[in-house]
Structure 1
């Protein structure tokens, strides 16, 4: 039964999304409850898979052979520490975004809940698949759903940013296909484990084509990860999205990070493959450039949605640089802390997106002075809400709770103690200094940017907080419980991460150990047992 749970994170949202297409769009309440049940089941399944991986130690990997075919012919799903962690993170943010959308956003267009479920299906499939072709398929599923969700609610700024987003991601998909075609032409396989086994045997004459294929894949992944200079599309798209859509979009960039980390540790971290350490310095430089770009963008931003979008780039750039250090021979502690930081920063960024609408409902005096700049950036109030009012009861002391959530998000993203942002950044700094005094210029540059990015983030968010909570003399509008409750849950999880930081770091440490021992994945797929088919009594024939 546990083995069959591996495919459940794909089947549950697929079935739920397909069923909701049969409902009339006026039956929004039924769609919401079906969607909520689906998201709840996803969270339970993801937690169970994570616990199974945790109990199995660093070698805990589960395999699911679709059609009961043996690898590499089978479509194989693989769950290990990394993929289980990403499944849980997706389910948590998805559930919070779904509850928030019940307040008002589900009424702004058709098929909102179906698109949301298909997005979850694509995310979960990308984290579980064991071959590049199905990685492309699930990428396209989540991207197709994200196109509809980004345009959900209409509005000129949203449509303009949505068209830009679609064009860029279609170009990235084309690069993905070209890269996959070159890799298949050279190796004859797209199974990741098979590629890892074949890499040492690729003739030198074919290695340039293979590297070109991986380079094209890398560009596609970097576009999706929001790496500079390929992140020009992200700030406008993310800040224009509806609040719950922006929250779930916070994990979309992590799909690109996940793909880079998985393939890099599987193919480029092994000695004697001809690809050892390939692209490490490029990843480091792009990661540092992304952090610097996010730093300047954050300081220049004058709206919370835009700052949240740059926080996504900052998180991705930080983890990208650490992956480069790991490929270049860095210790595992730096990557362990980076994965911990990625979890905390993703939760905090998703919470920040959920706070955009309640915090921008009542603009203070400073906002009026910045109206012209906001219009230039396209960050004015969202006209698509019209006369719609949020559903549900008002939350007592709602503005106070919003301000507390905002303050905690600012502390996490700035990396101040004692919350997860500080623990993650401190661990990465310790890892960067582990080789001192032999630490290179890149190590010191990473440390400096890590500290400066925290300073820039706290300055920008403090400015927004003063503008929102202290800049208006008028009575604030009521805040609905459905708008505050999801943010409070995510903030509570950040608190749990801080209290249980040792346990979380132990888990991410086991994740890194499993990634560094590539044989667990590369040979485990081929050793995966096929499902035993019961025999008919006394006949020796397989039971139909």
Structure 2
């Protein structure tokens, strides 16, 4: 008999999907009721994600394989829960509840169907993290994109509409590449189930293998667009900085969806066998260029939104380089870095809206101009010392400083621990007499430079924002807006305190991913409910 907990695997998809459908029946004037339904749904997702993470952390390598319709793989739709998918589900749920609570102050009333689109976005994300076949990955990818289009345009405004049109056009191209890549893979291998595809790879003829490589390459482009790899990333800083604060907060995980899929397929399909190492050099070189581009963008950014957008590229470039190196120990630290940087950037996007609320855009331009020409350096020398900072600005300043420490990777927070884990793993090869390669040394230097660049940029902008403001206006901040920011930063503090168990979980997850035979066996031997007619138990059954 299947345990009740086994059915929780499909719950992260069904809960937001049903909530989204229910919200459509409520009039926009019933904002309180819609907000309550949306919050309850997202809180349920957090609870379910915690339970699934606990189940996955048990003695088995896989928390479970869920056969929709009781059809065995590769005929039916398969949902797979393992360490990586459970981690991403929890990450999405925590970001979702923070962004949703932040939106309740005012943003959810700026346009129609905000809560429905928000829940659809979560359903698409969760489905993409759980699905075990490429076709349904495409379906959930489209659900997530369709919801993100509406959320990107939420709140109107000419700048947001312009950036939203670019965002929609780029992601439609990504979806087209996705469809072409999936078609090529299916035409070559005859299956889209990931486990079945991995099992069939050794039997594919060499001449057809080239066509499959072409399909995998086209499919990879779609997710590299989403991950923001250079030169496919020019749209990202503008789009993310133009989105409303809660939307940008949840969008912080969308680039990580591309990283997730690339990691999943790389470890499952391109680890051993005929496609061993496929695309690794492209990821390594692309990650390097992306990281360099992100560093330049961080240093050049004067607006806080642009700084946050380029910080996303710094995070993506670092993770893509680690995927290109394909070292399990380094990848464990990279997973912790993925979680820490996503929490940080999401909190930063929402914090920016609070900080800039009391500022004037013209005054910011004037401040930058004065800084560039050295004007005003001697002003105020004779003024009284010890200017008192209002309580609101003090709290915002502390949150801003925490974001700066995390982005720069300074101790003692989780950003430092994640980067230290990656760098120590890279240098660990030299401790056993095998010196790091040139690519590893390049990654070490770039990771350090990215931290220095973030520190310089955040310090410069922080001084101008909190100590050199021309207006001296204190923004009006509600508790419901500040709480989500502090919640996400508190999660990075928990990652710091529980760094040992967190790294142990990451190590176990990477080791499980590095052994695709377990994944293949779990999917192929997934339990079927007895007595159901019409569903084949294995390939070849009538």
Normalised TM-score (structure 2): 0.91
Deviations 1:441-488 (A, max 9, x none): 111110000000000001111112112111225241221111100011
> By how many angstroms is 1:372 displaced?
8.8
Gaps of 5+ in 1: 374-395, 536-544
- In structure 2, the residue matched to 1:223 is 225
- In structure 2, the residue matched to 1:454 is 451
Q: Of 474, 477, 480, which aligns to 2:475?
A: 477
Q: Of 45, 50, 54, which aligns to 1:47?
A: 50
Q: Of 177, 180, 196, which aligns to 1:175?
A: 177
| 1:320-469 to 2 correspondences below 5 Å | 320-326=320-326, 330=327, 332-363=328-359, 367-369=364-366, 397-436=391-430, 437-469=434-466
- In structure 2, the residue matched to 1:539 is none
Deviations 1:159-205 (A, max 9, x none): 11000010111111111111100100011000000010011111111
Provide runs of 4+ in structure 1 moved above 4 Å.
Answer: 370-373
1:86 to 2:88 alignment: yes
| 1:233-244 to 2 correspondences below 5 Å | 233-244=235-246
1:512 to 2:514 alignment: no
1 CA distance for matches of 2:209 and 2:281? 19
1 CA distance for matches of 2:473 and 2:153? 32
For the residue of structure 2 that corresponds to 1:78, the secondary structure is strand
Q: Of 122, 125, 137, which aligns to 1:123?
A: 125
> By how many angstroms is 1:531 displaced?
2.1
Superposition RMSD in Å: 1.6
- In structure 1, the residue matched to 2:152 is 150
- In structure 1, the residue matched to 2:101 is 99
For the residue of structure 1 that corresponds to 2:524, the secondary structure is coil
2 CA distance for matches of 1:63 and 1:95? 27
Do the aligned partners of 1:366 and 1:471 also contact (CA within 8 Å) in 2?
no
- In structure 2, the residue matched to 1:390 is none
For the residue of structure 2 that corresponds to 1:523, the secondary structure is helix
Do the aligned partners of 1:398 and 1:480 also contact (CA within 8 Å) in 2?
no
> By how many angstroms is 1:370 displaced?
5.3
Structure 1 residues 534 and 71: CA distance shift in structure 2, 3 A: closer
- In structure 1, the residue matched to 2:495 is 497
1 CA distance for matches of 2:343 and 2:292? 22
| 1:279-298 to 2 correspondences below 5 Å | 279-298=279-298
2 CA distance for matches of 1:147 and 1:306? 20
> By how many angstroms is 1:366 displaced?
6.0
Deviations 1:350-409 (A, max 9, x none): 000011111001227961415899xxxxxxxxxxxxxxxxxxxxxx93322211111111
1 CA distance for matches of 2:114 and 2:532? 43
Aligned length: 506
Gaps of 5+ in 2: 371-389, 534-542
Deviations 1:242-271 (A, max 9, x none): 00000000000111000000000001111x
| 1:238-257 to 2 correspondences below 5 Å | 238-257=240-259
- In structure 2, the residue matched to 1:392 is none
Do the aligned partners of 1:362 and 1:468 also contact (CA within 8 Å) in 2?
no
2 CA distance for matches of 1:16 and 1:400? 38
1 CA distance for matches of 2:51 and 2:124? 20
1 CA distance for matches of 2:429 and 2:212? 33
> By how many angstroms is 1:522 displaced?
1.2
> By how many angstroms is 1:435 displaced?
2.3
1:186 to 2:184 alignment: no
- In structure 2, the residue matched to 1:542 is none
For the residue of structure 2 that corresponds to 1:177, the secondary structure is helix
- In structure 1, the residue matched to 2:201 is 199
- In structure 2, the residue matched to 1:63 is 65
